[in-house]
Amino acid sequence: MSARSFSELSMEEPHMLEAVTFESDVEIPMRDGVVLRADIYFPVGDGRFPALVMRLPYAKFHAESNVYAHPSWFAARGYLVVVQDVRGRGVSDDDFDPFVHEAKDGYDTIEWVAVHPRCTGKVGMYGFSYVGSTQLLAASQRPPHLTAVCPGHTSADLYEGWTYRNGALQWAFTAYWSLYLSIDVAIRTGDWRRAQDLQSLLPTMPSRFATLPLTGLETVFSDLTPFFWEWLEHPTSGKYWQDRSAVLGWDVPTLSYAGWYDIFCDAAFTTFAALKEKGVPQELVVGPWWHMPWSQFVGSLDFGPQAKSDVNERLVKWLDTWCKEEVPVSEWQSTIRYFVMGENTWRNANSWPPAGTKVTDYFLSSGGYANSMNGSGALTESQVINDEPDRYVYNPKDPVPSLGGQSCCYSSISPMGTADQRPVETRNDVLVFTGDVCMATVTIAGQIELTLFAATSGDDADFTAKLVDVHPDGPVINLCDGIVRARYRSGTDAPDFVTPNAVTEYRINLGNIAHSFLPGHRIRLEVSSSNFPAFDRNPSTRMEPAKAEWKDFAMAVQTVYHDSDRPSRLHLPILSKGLGDEADFQSE
């Protein structure tokens, strides 16, 4: 269709946008003949401009405007903005199979845009979540005209940290997301009634997370999203996931965004490390955000106006550097700009963890009764030599409920963000280990790990860990958490079941975090065997969790050891204690 003035769309825009023109459903052919369609926003003037491409499965007209400025805003700043429905979504042709075609289709789209008469030949990309993965997959193919990418809240690895985490299925997210994806499939078939019914099911998902077996959800939308059942059938890393993941080998400048309470937070640090090793120009911005939107309000806490997202302005500055050469490259120093929660300030680091960080071990101890917040569990910097182990009964029919945390995509459906953990800590199947009152500010920055010596009376078990901040006025706020499934503790592609009641050493990654425990606060660790529905439930047997029914669930006695021979301990990356100056960061 012919280009129109964007103001003709009857949307309120600033005066500078009046000359931005808009063309919809532009056909872009792929190498296999499939046609994908895009909306193109043309900047003011008749010259040529660098292009900015977004490829998404969520409706190109929306263009992820729940996080970013409208495409016309970027067009008004001198970019030819191309927003495309990916294969099998919206008005693009063929069928949708998540991630499978994004690398090649992304390559073909970039090269088509690069030779557009209005394009200078330089192409950048932007978008978050799945739209971040479409960038990474395309970048891994090294399109000649791809000049810069700006992925947010995403992962290159579509197994670890996206679908599974240390062998446990990220149940709430994957179940909700699959249902959400099914709506567009119904629309494309012309079944508007079913699409409306599926949309109305979204708010009811919390009541469906207890469905057993997990595959029982197939009665709702299995015909629309067959890939969901494939995910359940591939609980280990292997060729299935490798074929869908991006190879961390691109060399274009990369501006990444992540959130401490987003499901993909850890993946951003993996990407940063890989690009840093290759010497790729990059910046990683990590705020106190959940998946969306990126604001100062995250669950139960307000991190203040300084926590607001600056993604639009920073993105344009980044693109102006590499696509227009209007901003000196010297202004970017491949840093991590990260938000320190607690003190609620931004800092910059040249490495992660920041230089000067020292890992300090905090040992678990209790005298044999760390059960609940009423127990005697403690975190100490000195090891207790002869300490009795802790025991609790894990009942998969009554799992520990998820309160906040890292998930996606709405807190009313999938637990995420900050939340008071006291309701969880009243349970006897949650071990609670608390440190002394902080006499000065203790700032941590880096990856949190737990070495746990534990045994189970079952054939399999999950062990969960959660780091929390105990506020002096009552609230107990979650910071980060982790899980390990015993059968996958070695990271192998095949199950390695434990011997019942045999002591096993586990390394649990709780993720990356930057946080200051203020004076009067306490550092606390929770240990249990479930975090539901954030993760699926372990049946305590050798049965595949996705196939387990109610009758297959078995209770088990879990034992946690913390003595001289089996020193369970929390590894905290401490950046500072007190108000000292650190060498590798600057407060702003």
Domain boundaries, the chain: 4-160+242-334, 168-234, 358-577
Residue scoring higher pLDDT (582 or 146): 146
Instruction: Say yes or no to pLDDT of 248 above 90.
Output: no
Determine the residue type at 170: Q
Provide φ and ψ at 103, rounded to 5°. -65, -55
Q: Which has the minimum average pLDDT: 20-24, 58-62, 412-416?
A: 412-416
pLDDT band for position 567 (cuts 50, 70, 90):
very high
pTM: 0.93
What residue has token string 């806490």?
301
Does residue 129 contact residue 151 with C-beta atoms inside 8 Å? no
Measured CA to CA, the distance from residue 178 to residue 253 in angstroms comes to 32
Sheet strands (E) in 334-441:
336-340, 345-349, 358-365, 378-380, 390-394, 431-437
Q: What is the pLDDT of residues 218-236, one digit of tens each?
A: 667 778 999 999 999 999 9
pLDDT score for 168: 96
- Whether 4-160+242-334 shares its CATH topology with 358-577 is answered no
Helix residue spans in 388-501 (DSSP H) = 422-425
Q: Can you tell me the mean pLDDT for 249-255?
A: 91
pLDDT score for 16: 52
Give strand pairing partners of 560.
Answer: 390, 454
pLDDT band for position 4 (cuts 50, 70, 90):
low
Q: Which residues are catalytic?
A: 129, 262, 291
pLDDT band for position 583 (cuts 50, 70, 90):
very low
Instruction: Say yes or no to pLDDT of 5 above 70.
Output: no
Q: What is the pLDDT of residues 278-300, one digit of tens each?
A: 999 999 999 999 999 999 999 98
Instruction: Say yes or no to pLDDT of 585 above 90.
Output: no
Topology of domain 358-577 in CATH is Jelly Rolls (2.60.120)
Q: In sequence order, what are the residues at sequence separation of 6 or more whose Cβ sits closer than 8 angstroms to the Cβ of residue 429?
A: 371, 392, 393, 394, 395, 400, 528, 529, 530
Alpha-carbon distances, residue 422 vs 103, 185, 344 (angstroms)? 45, 41, 23
Q: What is the pLDDT of residues 460-507, one digit of tens each?
A: 999 999 999 999 999 999 999 999 999 999 876 778 899 999 999 999
For residue 112, which of 42, 37, 6, 2 has the smallest C-alpha distance? Answer: 37
Give strand pairing partners of 433.
Answer: 525
Instruction: Say yes or no to pLDDT of 21 above 80.
Output: yes
User: Architecture of 4-160+242-334 per CATH?
Assistant: 3-Layer(aba) Sandwich (3.40)
pLDDT score for 331: 76
Return the percent helix, strand and coil in the chain, to nearest 5.
25, 30, 45
pLDDT band for position 10 (cuts 50, 70, 90):
very low
Measured CA to CA, the distance from residue 204 to residue 207 in angstroms comes to 6
The fraction of the chain above a pLDDT of 90, given in percent, is: 84
Measured CA to CA, the distance from residue 447 to residue 353 in angstroms comes to 7
H or E element, residue 550: none
User: In the predicted model, what is the mean pLDDT of the chain?
Assistant: 92
Q: What is the pLDDT of residues 58-78, one digit of tens each?
A: 999 999 999 999 999 999 999
Measured CA to CA, the distance from residue 59 to residue 280 in angstroms comes to 32
Measured CA to CA, the distance from residue 166 to residue 158 in angstroms comes to 13
Does residue 513 contact residue 499 with C-beta atoms inside 8 Å? no
For residue 96, which of 210, 7, 202, 178 has the smallest C-alpha distance? Answer: 178
Question: 3-state SS of 219-237?
Answer: HHHCCCCHHHHHHHHCCCC
Does residue 511 contact residue 452 with C-beta atoms inside 8 Å? no
Measured CA to CA, the distance from residue 317 to residue 327 in angstroms comes to 7
**Cα angle vertex 425, ends 485, 304, to 5°?**
95
Alpha-carbon distances, residue 455 vs 379, 458, 459, 466, 498 (angstroms)? 20, 9, 10, 19, 9
Measured CA to CA, the distance from residue 316 to residue 312 in angstroms comes to 6
Instruction: Say yes or no to pLDDT of 3 above 70.
Output: no
Instruction: Say yes or no to pLDDT of 584 above 80.
Output: no
pLDDT score for 385: 85
Residue scoring higher pLDDT (236 or 450): 450
pLDDT score for 217: 79
Instruction: Say yes or no to pLDDT of 337 above 80.
Output: yes
pLDDT band for position 579 (cuts 50, 70, 90):
low
Q: What is the pLDDT of residues 548-566, one digit of tens each?
A: 999 999 999 999 999 999 9
The fraction of the chain above a pLDDT of 70, given in percent, is: 95
Instruction: Say yes or no to pLDDT of 586 above 50.
Output: no
